[in-house]
């Protein structure tokens, strides 16, 4: 292992206090189970660590399983490639948030297992603004069409 210029304690503190949700997951059959979540992940989702460890992350999608983003995540995991996508997730209270999910596989040479580092960023506001812009552009086009008639 490469010599770290910082202590493992500082590294853990940095991860624990990051603004974005950070998780470490491990592939187990068809599931990718959570082994670690930071405090930002708990704040973002509303779930406490003890409620969700050793579960597959899919619980965040609730019943909203028909998303194209799920396929790109599955393909990235199958091919051990990094991935970044947006998907609809749900807080513990059931409210929707848009999650920009970045997944990076890491193969641990000591145990031969592949772990996944996940970074979750709440991009709900950005998605809402994009949808509003799209609606405004459609309305402008509709008005232009009316004026040209």
Helix H or strand E encompassing 31: strand 31-37
Helix H or strand E encompassing 141: helix 124-148
Tens digits of residue pLDDT in 26-85: 988 888 999 999 999 999 999 999 999 999 988 999 888 777 888 888 899 889 999 999
Tens digits of residue pLDDT in 109-133: 888 889 999 999 999 999 999 999 9
What pLDDT score was predicted for residue 69? 85
Helix, strand, coil percent values for the chain (each to nearest 5): 40, 30, 30
Mean pLDDT of the chain: 91
In CATH, what number does 8-124 get? 3.30.450.20
Q: pLDDT band for 1, please (50, 70, 90 cuts).
A: low
DSSP labels, 100-128: EEEEEEEE-TTT--EEEEEEEEE-HHHHH
What pLDDT score was predicted for residue 137? 95
């Amino acid at each position: 292992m490469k010599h770290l210029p910082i202590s493992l304690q500082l590294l853990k503190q940095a991860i624990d206090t990051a603004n974005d949700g950070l998780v470490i997951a491990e592939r187990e059959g068809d599931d990718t189970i959570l082994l670690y979540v930071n405090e930002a992940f708990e704040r973002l989702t509303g779930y406490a660590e003890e409620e969700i460890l050793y579960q597959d992350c899919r619980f965040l999608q609730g019943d909203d399983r028909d998303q194209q983003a799920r396929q790109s995540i599955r393909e990235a995991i199958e091919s051990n490639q990094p991935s970044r996508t947006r998907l609809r997730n749900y807080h513990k209270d059931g409210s929707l948030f848009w999650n920009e999910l970045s997944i990076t596989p890491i193969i641990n040479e000591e145990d031969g297992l592949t772990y996944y580092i996940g970074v979750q960023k709440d991009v709900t506001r950005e998605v809402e603004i994009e949808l509003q812009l799209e609606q405004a552009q459609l309305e402008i086009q509709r008005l232009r069409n009316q004026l040209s008639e």
